Amino acid sequence: MATEFHNLHDLRQGTSLATKVFIQRDYSDGTICKFQTKFPSELESRIERALFEDTVKTLNSFYCEAEKIGGQSYLEGCLACATAYIIFLCMETQYEKVLKKISTYIQEQNEKIYGPRGLLITDPIERGMRVIEISVYEDRGSSGSSSSRSSSAASSTR
């Protein structure tokens, strides 16, 4: 069933959105951007735990790199202060560069791993960096409506 979808567009055409799973932020290290690696029960039948955890850990490491307070950010900050912050209008910050990398990574993950399993990760920046939203799709075939109803019943009794 899942192998029928060659790309995300096909996925969208032939399926219906069953539910959305939200991975919340993990604030145990302060206000830095970090997501919980706890495996949600709704995805148990859809994807291997290791793959999911690997994705979230990679995203966490990207955000950690973006928010790292080190030599480059100091240089950026001091240069910006010296130019009365006008330089921010012309220059792309370290954070923005890493956000582009994250966007590319999520797209790759969707195409290679999550799309074939009927899942779709939304870039956290689209949700204000609050959550990683994973949309779960069900096949819209003859058994589609019944399977999504049963999966929704299963997830509501969690």
Partner 1 sequence: MKSREYKQIEPRALPASAPPAPAAGKEQAQGGRARRKWEVFPGNNRFYCDGRVMVARETGALPVTLGLVLVTSGCFFIFDCPFLVQHLTGCIPVIGGVLFAFVLASLLRTSFTDPGILPRATPEEAADIEKQIDNPGSSSSSSYRPPPRTKEVVINQQVVKLKYCFTCKIFRPPRTSHCSLCDNCVERFDHHCPWVGNCVGKRNYRFFYCFIVSLSFLTAFIFGCVSAHLALRSKDGKGLIFAVQESPASAVELVICFFSVWSILGLSGFHTYLVASNRTTNEDIKGSWSGKSGAEETGNPYSYNNVFKNCCAVLCGPMPPSLIDRRGFLPTEDAPLSTAVEIVEMPASKNDVNMCTQGTKDLLESPSVSPILSASCPQAKPQMVSSAPPDSVPAATSSQGGRGHRSSPPDKRRPRRSRKRSASHNPAYIAPGSGLPPPLPTQATSSRRSSRKEPRRSSFTSLQ
Residue among 140, 103, 138 at smallest CA distance from 122:
103
Listed as own residue / partner, the contacts of 6-10 with beta carbons closer than 8 Å and 24 or more positions apart are: 7/111, 7/115, 8/110, 8/111, 8/115, 8/120
Amino acid identity at 113: I
Question: Binding residue for partner 1 (CB under 8 A) from 66, 109, 114, 132?
Answer: 66
Asked if residue 4 binds partner 1 (CB under 8 A), the reply is: no
User: Could you say which of 36, 37, 58, 93 contacts partner 1 (CB under 8 A)?
Assistant: 93
Site for partner 1 in 18-57 (CB under 8 A): 18-20, 22, 25, 27-31
Minimum Å gap between C-beta 2 and partner 1 is: 18
Determine, following the binding rule CB under 8 A, whether residue 96 of this chain makes contact with partner 1.
yes
Q: Edge to edge, what strands does the sheet with 119-122 contain?
A: 15-24, 131-139, 119-122
CA separation for the pair 61, 112 (Å, rounded) = 20
Footprint of partner 1 (CB under 8 A):
8-9, 12, 16-20, 22, 25, 27-31, 66-69, 73-74, 76-78, 80-81, 84-86, 88, 93-96, 99-100, 103-104, 107, 110, 120-123, 125-131, 133, 135, 140, 145, 148, 152, 156
